[in-house]
Amino acid sequence: MREPHAGVAFERFTPDGPMALLPENDHYGLVWTTTPERGRELVMLPEAEFLEGLRQRFGARAGHFERVADRRTFPLSLDFAERVVDQRSVLLGNAAQSLHPVAGQGFNLGVRDAWELAQELLATTRDQIGAASGMRAYARRRRPDRLAGIAFTHGLLSVFGGDAPLLRWPRGLALTMLDALPLVKRSFTRAMLFGLR
């Protein structure tokens, strides 16, 4: 892209699923959700054809796409561990739950996992660090936020993952209302960043 991203991310909802441009250093990272077959085709396309397809799907709001590098495909699936702790071991982030990248909630959930574990460790005497009782307490505290994050992401995917005609106007109305009501928007953003409190 010719223009610097200035730290601004973009997300677009298409018939095949969400697309996102995520700021990375001096360029964007692209997430293009599609079928496995189409994903394999996109990886093999000549650069000019790929960029034209990207322009058609994403539009011009983020600027002009000039080049693309390091195209890869990844299967998207919901995967989460039922048990995230054992004595002296804890699963965090994507080891505990692997979510669809819609709305970037996997990263936020992983950061909250790490924060809560740090709080547990700071409140524990040195000889009790890693004890089963402390690890179980951590897991109990994290469970509501983990389940809410998983449910929210999975729910977003069902609402925004396709382009069914019956979903278009309610989805557009909900996004418009969220944007038009600053207090609701701040509360929603806070919940996305900091989870359930």
Q: What pLDDT score does 186 carry? A: 74
pLDDT of residue 107: 84
Residues of the chain scoring pLDDT < 50: 1
Q: Which domains does the chain have, with CATH numbers?
A: 1-75 (3.30.9.10), 79-194 (3.50.50.60)
Secondary structure E strands in 34-104? 79-80, 85-86, 89-90, 97-98
Residue 28: is it exposed, middle or buried by C-beta count within 10 angstroms (0-12/13-18/19+)? buried
Put simply, whether the predicted model's pTM sits higher than 0.75 gets the answer: no
Contact 196, 148 (CB under 8 A): yes
Q: What's the pLDDT at 46?
A: 95
d(CA 55, CA 25): 22
pLDDT tens profile 8-50: 888 887 777 778 888 888 888 888 888 889 999 999 999 999 9
Residue 136: predicted pLDDT: 92
Please give the pLDDT value at position 197.
58
CA distance 99 to 153: 7
Cα 138 to Cα 82, 96, 124, distances in angstroms: 14, 13, 11
pLDDT of residue 114: 93
